[in-house]
């Protein structure tokens, strides 16, 4: 048996206001005055001087605002890379992602594609990346999905939604400043936080679980319960705890895997563009038979925060659409195997999947 040699983020700074230390962190990483730092920033922060005025810009550094209305795509990565290459005199000194999972995944992918030939879609899969990425920094502004700590960057390609999983993917530096999450709207806060919660349930009940992942998963799960079920935290405490839940939840899948909710929501994202957080919630809401305790608790959290999930999103799909979704989800073998064991195909059939999707 061979175990994964897991790459961890080698530098992390945690604290309210630690974003102010970005300048001192980047300074020693500047390669030359012609090698800029490129800040990929979620465009919800456009015009938000509280954040943007604190981004340290020197020489030819620049901010690129990124729309996150849709899930990030391989084409978006290729466009960003092309634009950087055409407008800078030297390879950048670093790529800094400031945003949620979409922006963080884009930052990771761009830093990889600046030093690897071809197109981003060529690298969707496991360990296909050849060269070390450009120095890259992750600064989450919303908590839950764990992109700040993972060795993947999930992208929608022409043929599949799949991550660039590699040892070069993780950030070289992460800044965990929970103050950056203070203005996240409730719905988004809930959906993204539930992504973490669902990671924990899928990891902790999975067949791939080991003690390493279990300890991180337990910790993240406890934090999710504190944040979403107990009502005795201040806003700051809640923001800090959810940020740590995201971090530990991401570590928990290092040695395990996600499961049914992720497998099914990937296909929703690919076909319908449903975003990751809400997609997981829509699916998980119907998975009592696979995760009975987890779904019960999820429904309680949903109720407590008055969250109404969209209904009937698959109502108008054609048979061809269903077939496409089913084919995409069945391809995610490790997720199914983790969730249901080696004999998962006896439980999960195309018919079964169609019935589940039709409820959503």
Name which position in 151, 161, 199, 241 contacts its own copies (CB under 8 A): 241
Q: Is 231 in the site for its own copies (CB under 8 A)?
A: no
The one among 188, 207, 218, 331 contacting its own copies by CB under 8 A: 218
- Minimum distance, C-beta of residue 180 to its own copies, in the bound complex (Å): 14
- Closest separation in Å from C-beta 116 to its own copies: 19
11 forms part of the interface with its own copies (CB under 8 A): yes
Q: Among candidates 309, 308, 287, 311, which has minimal Cα distance to 297?
A: 287
User: Using the rule CB under 8 A, is 180 a contact of its own copies?
Assistant: no
Q: Is residue 7 close enough to count as binding its own copies by CB under 8 A?
A: yes
50 binds its own copies (CB under 8 A): no
One of 212, 225, 313, 317 touching its own copies (CB under 8 A): 212
Nearer of residues 102 and 178 to its own copies, judged by Cβ: 178
Is 97 in contact with 134 (CB distance < 8 Å)? no
200 contributes a contact to its own copies by CB under 8 A: no
Complex with its own copies: residue 243 or 295, whichever CB lies closer = 243
CA distance 170 to 147: 9
Q: Alpha carbon 231 to chain centroid distance?
A: 27
Window 16-35: contact mask with its own copies (x via CB under 8 A): -xx--x---x----------
Stretch that binds its own copies, among 207-215, 295-303, 335-343, 352-360 (CB under 8 A): 207-215
Find the part of the chain contacting its own copies (CB under 8 A) among 6-14, 107-115, 273-281, 308-316. Answer: 6-14
- Which two three-digit tokens encode residue 164? 């660039």
How many residues bind its own copies (CB under 8 A)? The answer is: 38
| The residue to which tokens 């073998």 are assigned | 333
Q: What gap in Å lies between CA 257 and CA 209, rounded to an integer?
A: 8
User: Which tokens hold the place of 113?
Assistant: 């594609």
Distance CA 121, CA 153 (A): 12
97 CB-near residues (< 8 Å, 6+ apart) = 40, 103, 104, 106, 107, 108, 136, 137, 138, 139, 171
The DSSP secondary-structure symbol of 347 reads T
CA distance 49 to 38: 18
**Using the rule CB under 8 A, is 248 a contact of its own copies?**
yes
CA dist., res. 267 & res. 246, Å (int) = 23
For binding to its own copies (CB under 8 A), which residues are involved? 1-15, 17-18, 21, 25, 173, 176, 178, 210-212, 215-216, 218-219, 222-223, 237, 240-241, 243-244, 248, 255
């Amino acid at each position: 048996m061979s175990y994964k040699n897991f790459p961890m983020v080698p530098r992390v700074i945690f604290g309210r206001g630690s974003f102010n230390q970005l300048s001192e962190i980047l300074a020693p990483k500047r390669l030359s005055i012609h090698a800029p730092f490129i800040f990929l920033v979620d465009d919800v922060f456009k015009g938000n001087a509280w954040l943007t005025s604190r981004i340290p810009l020197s020489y030819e550094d620049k901010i690129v605002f990124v729309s996150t209305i849709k899930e990030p795509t391989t084409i978006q990565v290729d466009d960003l890379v092309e634009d950087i290459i055409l407008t800078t005199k030297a390879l950048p000194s670093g790529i800094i992602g400031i945003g949620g999972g979409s922006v963080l995944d884009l930052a990771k992918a761009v830093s990889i594609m600046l030093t690897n030939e071809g197109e981003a879609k060529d690298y969707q899969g496991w360990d296909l990346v050849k060269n070390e990425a450009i120095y890259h920094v992750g600064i989450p502004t919303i908590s839950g999905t764990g992109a700040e700590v993972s060795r993947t960057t999930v992208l929608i390609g022409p043929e599949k939604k799949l991550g660039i999983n590699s040892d070069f993917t993780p950030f070289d530096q992460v800044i965990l400043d929970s103050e950056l999450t203070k203005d996240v709207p409730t719905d988004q806060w809930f959906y993204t936080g539930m992504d973490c919660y669902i990671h924990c349930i899928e990891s902790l009940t999975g067949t791939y679980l080991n003690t390493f992942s279990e300890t991180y998963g337990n910790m993240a799960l406890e934090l999710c319960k504190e944040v979403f079920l107990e009502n005795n935290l201040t806003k700051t405490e809640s923001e800090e705890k959810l940020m740590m839940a995201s971090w530990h939840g991401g570590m928990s899948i290092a040695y395990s895997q996600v499961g049914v909710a992720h497998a099914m929501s990937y296909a929703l994202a690919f076909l319908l563009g449903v975003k990751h957080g809400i997609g997981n919630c829509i699916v998980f809401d119907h998975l009592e038979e696979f995760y009975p305790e987890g779904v019960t608790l999820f429904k309680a959290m949903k109720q407590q925060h008055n969250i109404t999930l969209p209904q009937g999103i698959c109502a108008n799909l054609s048979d061809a659409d269903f077939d496409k979704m089913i084919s995409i989800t069945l391809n995610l073998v490790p997720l199914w195997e983790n969730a249901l064991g080696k004999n998962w195909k006896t439980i999960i059939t195309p018919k079964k999947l169609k019935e589940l999707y039709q409820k959503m």
